């Protein structure tokens, strides 16, 4: 039988103080980056937390590292197991053990800014309708130094619901959520990868989401990261979720994987992307029309998304390497989007004219 060791921790409902936050970290053979991840949690300015560290049957030094930290800090709750059950099942296990009213995720190869928990708790306490909260992020190199640009996900609930159809608008390692939400709606254990993407779609049906614009996590990008080692498997499992969401908005439609991949690429950017096709744009516009009819959307944000799509499409069509304007795309554009396209066209024309050098005229 696999050996599971759970160090004693107070049970929910006891007279012992209940922490505000439970930080949940599961690791499998992540010894090289694990100490940095744990240190980033223990150095938080917000001190009222427990840190649930789960060793998912590692064969490296991860277990020894967890045991060492647990001996030094009573806020650590170590769960040590010789069986490798996978991240999804371990997350549900950790949620079940958590005592905090908020749960903060942390991956073993990532780093949390010292004020991360404090800022997220402050936001959750003052926004009771928000059940899921992420932050901006930045990639770090092997030495833990930030590199590249700040990665900011959509901050409003309506933007997140639009992006969730085809992409993930939250960095999993950055999220904080209300524990009871995921007790009632656990991670789907049939999914080995992309379990967070599937869960956020369910949660945002009855709670609100938000993202802080602050960069409060650094993302490790080593060769062992799931998104690197299992990128294709991750997309394949996510594709099933995407197709379900597409069919919910546009029923009786067959979705080709390459078409979905292209639509996903387009919706991840406000600017032209390589190899865009008229067919992909045609379906994106239809998808937006169906999306905009849903309830509980902010009308102003729907209008903002609409204008961003129009601007993106016009820029793509004007590019020499962009998609060719087909009759179906043109018909859809003129009948459903033309009335708010002209202001964008005139604004762009005005910018072009003003940017040109003035000519001197002689009589």
Give dist(CA 137, CA 123) in Å, integer. 17
Three-state secondary-structure class, residue 205: coil
Give the pLDDT of residue 148: 85
Residue with tokens 């516009």: 285
In this predicted structure, what is the pLDDT of residue 222? Answer: 61
Question: pLDDT tens digits for 301-332?
Answer: 999 999 999 989 989 999 999 999 999 999 99
- Percent of the chain whose predicted confidence (pLDDT) is above 90: 77
58 Cβ partners below 8 Å, 6+ apart?
Answer: 27, 28, 29, 30, 31
Q: What is the pLDDT of residues 199-253, one digit of tens each?
A: 999 999 999 999 999 999 999 976 545 545 556 777 888 999 999 999 999 999 9
Q: What is the DSSP letter of 359?
A: P
DSSP classification of residue 340: G
Average pLDDT over residues 288-306: 95
pLDDT recorded at residue 352: 52
**Strand duo 102-105 + 111-112: pairing:** unpaired
Element containing residue 8 per DSSP (H, E)? none
pLDDT of residue 344: 58
Which pLDDT does position 214 carry in this prediction?
97
Domains of the chain: 4-232 (3.90.550.10), 256-353 (no CATH)
How confident is the model over 126-130, as a mean pLDDT? 97
Beta bridge partners of 22: 50, 103
What letters, b where the CB count within 10 A reaches 16 and e where it falls short, cover 180-193?
A: ebbeebbbeeebeb
pTM confidence score: 0.87
Tens digits of per-residue pLDDT, 50-84?
999 999 999 999 999 999 999 999 999 999 999 99
């Amino acid at each position: 039988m696999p050996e599971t060791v759970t160090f004693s921790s107070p049970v929910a409902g006891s007279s012992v103080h209940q922490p505000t936050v439970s930080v949940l970290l599961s690791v499998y053979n992540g010894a090289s980056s694990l100490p940095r991840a744990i240190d980033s949690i223990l150095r938080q300015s917000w001190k009222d937390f427990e840190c649930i560290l789960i060793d998912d049957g590692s064969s490296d030094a991860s277990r020894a590292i967890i045991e060492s930290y647990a001996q030094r800090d009573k806020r650590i709750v170590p769960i040590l197991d010789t069986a490798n059950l996978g991240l999804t099942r371990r997350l549900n296990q950790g949620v079940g053990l958590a005592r905090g009213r908020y749960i903060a995720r942390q991956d073993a190869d990532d780093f949390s800014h010292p004020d991360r928990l404090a800022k997220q708790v402050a936001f959750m306490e003052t926004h009771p309708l928000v059940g899921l909260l992420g932050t901006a992020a930045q990639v770090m190199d092997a030495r833990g130094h930030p590199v590249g640009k700040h990665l900011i996900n959509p901050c409003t609930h309506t933007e997140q619901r639009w992006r969730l159809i085809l992409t993930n608008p939250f960095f999993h390692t950055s999220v904080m959520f209300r524990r009871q939400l995921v007790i009632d709606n656990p991670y789907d254990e049939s999914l080995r990868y992309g379990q967070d993407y599937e869960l956020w779609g369910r949660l945002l049906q009855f709670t609100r989401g938000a993202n802080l614009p602050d960069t409060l996590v650094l993302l490790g990008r080593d060769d062992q990261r799931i998104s690197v080692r299992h990128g294709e498997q991750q997309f394949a499992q996510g594709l099933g979720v995407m197709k379900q969401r597409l069919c919910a908005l546009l029923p009786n439609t067959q979705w080709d994987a390459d078409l979905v991949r292209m639509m996903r690429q387009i919706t991840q950017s406000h600017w032209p992307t390589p190899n865009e096709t008229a067919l992909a744009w045609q379906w994106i516009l239809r998808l937006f029309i169906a999306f905009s009819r849903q309830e509980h959307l902010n009308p102003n944000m729907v209008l903002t998304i609409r204008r961003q799509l129009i601007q993106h499409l016009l820029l793509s069509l004007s590019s020499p390497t962009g998609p060719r304007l087909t009759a179906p795309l043109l018909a859809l554009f003129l009948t459903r989007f033309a009335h708010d396209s002209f202001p964008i066209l005139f604004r762009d024309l005005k910018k072009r004219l003003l940017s040109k050098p003035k000519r001197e005229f002689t009589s």
